A and B are shown apart, each in its own frame.
Chain A
Amino acid sequence: MNPMLAKSPPRGVAGNTLTSDTGSATAIAQAPFGHALARAAEKNPRIVGLTADLGKYTDMHVFAEKFPQRFFQMGMAEQSLIGCAAGMARTGLIPFATTYCVFATRRAYDFIAIGVALGRANVKIIAGLPGLTTSYGGTHQGIEDLALMSSIPNLTVIDPCDATEIEQATQAIADYEGPVYMRLLRGQVPVVLDPENYQFEIGKAKILAEGGDVAIISTGLMTGRALDAAKALDAEGIHASVLHLSTLKPFDRETVSSLISRVPAVVTAENHFQHGGLGSAVADLAADSGLKMRLKRVGIPDCFCDSGSLPYLADRYSMGATHIAQAAREALR
């Protein structure tokens, strides 16, 4: 077993109200972003927090309770949220601004592009409900945010896979000077990666499983499912590599190129629209580099999705571990 994967017994609060089904988790952590932000803020007084009426729903409340003087409620006004964060950054603060993916990217796009990214304002946008992680429908499911955010120059785009990575990435982006968009898994978040052996680095993809038959390249919560798929394939004698790529931008071309040049088939898995995200980035890289491969993409199809429970949605839109495994088999045919 790869030492980067979690094997410890459950920690924190477990329960049946997971907001994110990340596959092969062994444990649960409560509000990892909020606690990590509070820890980072203890060390760095420049960190402040903002939200647009979603403090309790983006784990920002943990920070707000600990540092009430450093927390700024902006109300239900996402343009103001991002614009004010950009202004604060220009005075030397490090603002972490939270809302949902859909509201940050659809309602405040121009403010992120021009107010934040153009001048590299040191704003960290933390966006909840990525992809199919809510029982609400199209209004709340952030299905195209990675495509939108990856299209903006200067912006770093991150989709963490679990509690371990969220905690590490929160500290990493606080230390990084520049604008960041990071997807958030909130509330009770599974632990997939071993905090002792995994080390998040901005812009670095990590091999979590080694196998020469097929490569599964995954991002966000799909990595847990990719690991489950790899186990299932292994039992059939198909040996899969799993490359976890949490930073969509800047894209780790070196590691991805190196992997796909060693295998005949590639599956990408993302909790996002099939185009404009990870799958497209991998296809672009292969085309640009003349790398030959068969590619299957697992992701959200070209539709607004139904509402429903998370397992129902994963099944309905072919986003589960079984679908990743099936995509691998098809890619090898």
Chain B
Amino acid sequence: MNTQSETASPMAEEIRLKEMARTLRRHVLTMAEIVGQGYVGQGLGISDLLSVLYFHEMRYDPKHPLWPDRDRFILSIGHYAIGLYAALAEAGIIPLEEIGTYGRDGSRLEMSAPETTPGVEITGGSLGHGLSQSVGMAIGLRHQGRPSRIFNLLSDGECEEGATWEAAMAGAHYKLGNLYAFIDCNNQQADGPPSTIMNIEPLHKKWDAFGWHTQRINGNDVGAILEAIAVARKVEDRPHAIVLDTLMGKGVTVFEQREKNHFIRVDADEWSVARKQLEERSL
């Protein structure tokens, strides 16, 4: 099971999760420094959500990653693997020391997460796959009477994929209250901001019109994420879309300020600056 503390006060729990998000960000920097570049902006940006999911909300057993009744985190955006590996290592699903192999030849921790790695449920990365597989899992688990929930992370850019909306239709049609889709809006896809590449807004209205129980929050606010999930849990006959406005590189000023930060190249002397900024940032 995860380390969720049922008895902690809400304020203490929030502080614990914010500290955990900082720990995940440390791991992200460790991995990114090994390869000298990469999806560090995405990893830092999504650490708050991963902290809430893996260390508060989800039911799983790190010793038995395939426990049939586990809640499942489905990473559609495979290149966010750097963030997922940080959570899996901290949760004890993969050894903490293994993050040192991230992106290296022969490592299980490929830059885009493969399902052969423990804790990685699907092979994402070909964008637009995650939500339909999540819908299938949510149907399948409910059909078998399992209590498991599905937490799918997809990106703003993936809302340009037709398959995302095919799956959105199916999720609402089958009234999948056990399905949560987090849409990470960091306003940066490979060629630039979605507003200039292919406008996807208004996302809240779109998910709502597709029949999803929809909320839009600051995705770097641990308290807001906790509250949104608590609100969503009360709605049982619709799938849940939680649109997260996030900041790429969150927690590290030099990365937050990068203009083109989909795939960051980092100079060797910047890493110590980045670490210092992460530790100095107030919760």
Known contacts A110-B126, A111-B163: does B135 contact A80 (CB below 8 Å)? yes
A308 interface residue, CB < 8 Å from B?
Answer: no
- The interface stretch among A69-77, A153-161, A210-218 is A69-77
Most B C-beta atoms less than 10 A away, residue of A75, A83, A95: A83
Partner of B170, one of A75, A110, A111, A114: A75
- Is there an interface contact between A93 and B140, defined as CB atoms closer than 8 Å? yes
Contact present for A119 and B169 (CB under 8 Å): no
Contacts of A48 in B (CB 8 A): 140, 143
Q: How far is the CB of A221 from chain B (nearest CB, A)?
A: 32
Interface residue from A77, A83, A85, A114 paired with B169 (Cβ < 8 Å): A77
In the bound assembly, the distance between CA atoms of A163 and B122 in angstroms comes to 36
The residues in A between 42 and 89 inclusive whose CB is less than 8 angstroms from any CB of B are: 48, 69-70, 72, 74-75, 77, 79-80, 82-89
Q: Is the CB of B123 within 8 A of A80?
A: no
Kindly identify which residue among A75, A90, A110, A118 contacts B136, using a CB–CB cutoff of 8 Å: A90
Give chain B residues whose Cβ lies under 8 Å from the Cβ of A91: 68, 136-137, 140-141, 144, 146
- Complex contacts, A85 vs chain B, CB 8 Å: 136
B126 CB contacts on chain A under 8 angstroms: 110, 114
By the criterion CB–CB under 8 Å, are A115 and B129 in contact?
Answer: yes
How distant is B81 from chain A, measured CB to nearest CB, in Å?
15
Asked if A311 is at the interface of the complex by the 8 Å CB criterion, the answer is no
- Which residue on chain A has the smallest CB distance to residue B135? A84
The reply to whether the CB of A92 lies closer than 8 angstroms to some CB of chain B is yes
Q: Which residues of B contact A70 (CB under 8 A)?
A: 143
Task: Tell yes or no: B106 within 8 A of A by CB.
Answer: no
Any chain A CB within 8 A of the CB of B94? no
- Per the bound structure, the CA–CA distance linking A84 and B170 in Å amounts to 9
Complex CA–CA separation, A87 to B142 (angstroms)? 12
- Cβ of B173 to closest chain A Cβ, rounded Å: 7
* Docked-complex contact A80 and B163, CB < 8 angstroms: yes
> B135: which of A87, A95, A110, A111 is its contact (CB, 8 Å)?
A87
Contacts of A110 in B (CB 8 A): 126, 129
B124 → chain A, closest Cβ, in Å? 9
Q: A77-B170, A114-B126 are in contact. Are A87 and B162 (CB under 8 A)?
A: no
Interchain CB contact under 8 A, B137 and A88 = yes
Taking CB atoms and an 8 Å cut-off, the chain B residues in 129-172 that contact chain A are 129, 131-141, 143-144, 146, 162-163, 166-167, 169-170
Q: A115 touching B133 by the CB < 8 A rule?
A: yes
Q: Is there an interface contact between B166 and A79, defined as CB atoms closer than 8 Å?
A: yes
Q: Report the Cα distance A110→B163, complex, angstroms.
A: 11
Q: How large is the interface on A (under 10, 10 to 19, 20 to 34, 35 or more residues)?
A: 20 to 34
| Least CB distance, B39 to chain A, in whole angstroms | 19
Complex contact B140–A115 (CB within 8 A): no
Given contacts A75-B173, A86-B133, A92-B68, contact A80 B140 (CB under 8 A): no
Bound-state CA distance A95–B131 (Å) is: 17
Nearest chain A CB to B145's CB is how many angstroms away?
11
Contact of A79 among B144, B146, B163, B174 (CB under 8 A): B163
Q: Does B121 lie at the interface of the complex (its beta carbon under 8 Å from any beta carbon of A)?
A: yes
B123 touches A87 (CB 8 A): no
Q: Is the pair A87, B68 in contact by a Cβ cutoff of 8 Å?
A: no
Q: Indicate if the CB atoms of A88 and B140 lie closer than 8 Å.
A: yes
A118 to B141, CA, bound (A): 22
Q: Is the CB of A90 within 8 A of B122?
A: yes
CA distance A265 to B133 in the complex (A): 48
- In the bound complex, what is the Cα–Cα distance between A111 and B166 (angstroms)? 13
Q: How long is the Cα–Cα vector from A115 to B137 in the complex, in angstroms?
A: 12
Q: Which residues of B contact A69 (CB under 8 A)?
A: 143
Contact B122 A74 (CB under 8 A): no
Name A78's closest neighbour in chain B (CB-CB): B166
A86 to B135, CA, bound (A): 10
CB-based contact B134/A87 at 8 Å? yes
Q: Taking the nearest CB of chain B, how far is it from the CB of A258, in angstroms? A: 37
CB of A84 within 8 A of CB of B162, answer: no
In the complex, A8→B166 CA distance in Å? 47
Most central of B125, B132, B137, B167 by chain A CB within 10 Å: B132
- Determine which residue in A69, A85, A89, A90 has the highest number of CB atoms from chain B within 10 A of its CB, and name it: A90
A174 smallest CB distance to B (angstroms):
16
Contact pattern, A 250-287, Cβ under 8 Å of B = 1, otherwise 0: 00000000000000000000000000000000000000
Give the residues in chain B near A83, CB-CB below 8 Å.
129, 131-133, 135-136, 163, 166-167
Q: Which residues of A contact B227 (CB under 8 A)?
A: none
Query: A75-B169, A110-B126 given as contacts; is B132 within 8 A of A87 (CB)?
Result: yes
> Could you mark each residue 177-210 of chain B with 1 if its beta carbon is under 8 Å from any beta carbon of chain A, else 0?
0000000000000000000000000000000000
B136 — nearest CB in chain A belongs to which residue? A87
B237 contacts A by Cβ under 8 Å: no
Over the window 92-111 of chain A, the binary record of Cβ atoms lying under 8 Å from chain B Cβ atoms (1 yes, 0 no) is 11010000000000000011
- Besides A84-B167, A91-B146, A115-B122, 20 other CB < 8 A contacts? A48-B143, A74-B170, A79-B162, A79-B166, A80-B167, A86-B132, A87-B133, A87-B134, A87-B136, A87-B138, A88-B136, A90-B121, A91-B140, A92-B68, A93-B143, A114-B129, A115-B132, A115-B133, A118-B115, A119-B115
3 tightest A-B contacts by CB? Answer: A87-B136, A83-B132, A91-B140
5 A-B pairs in the complex with CB atoms less than 8 angstroms apart? A83-B129, A84-B167, A90-B122, A110-B126, A110-B129
